[in-house]
Amino acid sequence: MSSTIANREHGALWGLVDDLLGRQRLILASNRGPMEFHTGPNGELQHRRGSGGIVTALSGLTNYVDFTWIASAMGEGDRRASEEQGGKAVRSPVAGQQVSVRFVTTPRRAYHKYYNIICNPLLWFLQHYMWSSPYTPRVDAVVYDAWDTGYRLVNREFANAIVDEARGSSLRPLVMVHDYHLYLVPGMVREQLPEARIHHFLHIPWPASSYWQLLPGMIRTAICDSLCQADIVGFQAQRDVRAFLESCETFLEDVQIDYREHVVRYRGRETRVRAYPISIDVDEIRQIATSPRAAEYEERVGAELGKQTIVRVDRAEPSKNIVRGFQAYEVLLEQHPELCGNVRFLAFLVPSRTHIRQYQRYAEEIDAAVRHVNDRFGTAEWQPVRVFYENNYVQAVAGMRLYDVLLVNAVIDGMNLVAKEGPVVNTKHGVLVLSESAGAYEQLKVGALPVAPADIEGTARALYQALSMPAEERAERSRLMIESIEREDITHWLQRQLEDVKALPG
């Protein structure tokens, strides 16, 4: 096996990788890759680590095994780097990443239809229950066209790249596909590589079949049909597993569902459907949190704290429920005027999907909500809310070290890794106020204060309870959460999936 040992600590995972990937060729595919190129001031190619949850979750795998990661060329830099390699994989220049990245380059117009019309908003909004069904979505000819000449086309290009990589090796391919961008890839790869092991993991929730029925039958059937060409389909939570099995039963013909064993039998194949709650690399985030760079940010962020501080860290994204969070804070200040001047709310928000109308509008709504609270309660000496609006992970980690209360009130979330990162880096036994519909709630309810995402009054009360909680209770709640996160960190997530791949028959 062409592997590089960077971390032998996690012996069990190492053994598994050694055993499994000595006999199989790992090819991983996700829309965003582990790194991206951009053009520097003198026209030279510069690189940086890719952003987002998938990269955070899977970068650790590069410590164990050297593999090919197939990803979309996101910008001109990626396109240039890919062209310079004649379309073949590029060795990642990012320190610590032992991986080759093969960029899938598709026509800009096709990528726009795939990403900005089908993936986000259509699928993302559907899967986070964000459509207002009497009015939206409007599935018109533009969407039909984007499905055919955007989504299908990009998925086809990914499948072709995977097949090409697989054929370059004599080992049996193990193809791990990630997320809703690539639903059609398992079916397209299966047509060409019948013997491949195919694993598809979905990072976002899978809604009830009645909600999927908002979409045309050909879309939902194509998605289920393709996913059932994988050997394993992984989800974040048991709720998603159940909903997927039910969707297959509703949308596919001649299908058998085993609800006890969580298996779908379809077109002569068996697909195992499993929950693998994703987690974080505890060691890595602790290293980042205690790095000199984080210390610099900590000093800067420290200057912004109140006597007590509420923090949130999110992409500027409607499913994160940011506006309701500020509305709850407003209710808190209204009901407890003694907190004015003493409690601050620091929001670390990352610009996201800024070409999409719904995201632009949501960013404006966030802005208006912040202005409203600051105008209503702010004084010359004290501004209740401070927003850091930039993609600066280390600064956000510094913020997480310093909170008294971390607010995660997502409408619904596959998992929400901020809810896991916060407790392990925080230095104050801060309290986590957590949406019951975040996937992370299942694990963190041992220590978190629950909120229903639409419940502004309840969120205000939970914030107050968190701010006034006795020190011993805070310490105990954070101890329980940290213990659980350390026990089931990212290594555990990877290991469980590889064990299931290893246990596949044939």
Residue with smaller CB distance to ligand F6P, 36 or 489? 36
Tell me the per-residue interface mask from 386 to 425 with ligand F6P, x by CB under 6 A, - otherwise.
Answer: ----------------------------------------
Query: In sequence order, which residues have a C-beta less than 8 Å from that of residue 63 and are 6 or more positions away?
Result: 4, 5, 6, 7, 96, 98
* Residue 389 beta carbon to ligand F6P: minimum distance, rounded to whole angstroms: 15
**Of these, 13, 16, 28, 54, which contacts ligand F6P (CB under 6 A)?**
54
Q: Which of 25, 199, 239, 353 is in the footprint of ligand F6P by CB under 6 A?
A: 353
Dihedral angle over CA of 113, 115, 121, 124, nearest 10: 140
Q: Which of residues 185-204 bind ligand F6P (CB under 6 A)?
A: 203-204
CA distance 216 to 120: 17
Q: Using CA atoms, how far apart are residues 496 and 199, in angstroms rounded to an integer?
A: 13
Binding residues for ligand F6P restricted to 158-187, rule: CB under 6 A: 179
Helices 471-487 and 418-425, packing angle to 10 deg: 120
Token pair belonging to 275: 């929950």
Q: Which stretch binds ligand F6P (CB under 6 A): 47-55, 91-99, 322-330, 447-455?
A: 47-55
Pairing label, strands 24-29, 67-72: parallel
Site for ligand F6P in 441-500 (CB under 6 A): none
Secondary structure E strands in 259-307: 263-266, 269-275
Rounded to a whole number of angstroms, the minimum distance from the CB of residue 53 to ligand F6P is 4
Q: Which is nearer to ligand F6P, 203 or 344 (CB)?
A: 203
Q: Does 118 bind ligand F6P (CB under 6 A)?
A: no
DSSP 85-103: TTTS-EE--STT--EEEEE
Token readout for 355 is 């070409």
Closer residue to ligand F6P, CB minimum distance, 414 or 458: 414
Shortest Cβ 18–ligand F6P spacing (Å): 28
- Cβ proximity to ligand F6P: between 352 and 395 the closer is 352
Using alpha carbons, list the distances in angstroms from residue 390 to 78, 236, 350, 437, 453.
Answer: 22, 28, 5, 26, 25
Per-residue contact flags (x/-) with ligand F6P for residues 65 to 104, judged by CB under 6 A: ----------------------------------------
Instruction: Select the residue whose beta carbon is closest to ligand F6P and give its number.
Output: 203
CB of 272 or CB of 353, closer to ligand F6P: 353
User: Which tokens hold the place of 473?
Assistant: 């209770």
String of contacts with ligand F6P for each residue 5-44, x by CB under 6 A: ---------------------------x------------
* Alpha-carbon gap, residue 276 to 207, rounded angstroms: 17
Measure the CA–CA gap between 179 and 278, rounded to whole angstroms.
Answer: 13
Taking CB under 6 A as the binding criterion, the range among 49-57, 227-235, 238-246, 306-314 that sits at the site for ligand F6P is 49-57
Where does this chain touch ligand F6P (CB under 6 A) — which range of 7-15, 51-59, 207-215, 435-443? 51-59
CA distance 425 to 440: 17
Q: Which residues contact 422 (CB under 8 A, 6 or more apart)?
A: 311, 313, 400, 403, 406, 408, 430, 432
Is position 325 an interface residue for ligand F6P (rule: CB under 6 A)?
A: no
With tokens 């596919």, the residue in question is 252
CB of 2 to ligand F6P, least distance (A): 27
- Name the residues that contact ligand F6P, by CB under 6 A: 32, 52-54, 120, 179, 203-204, 352-353
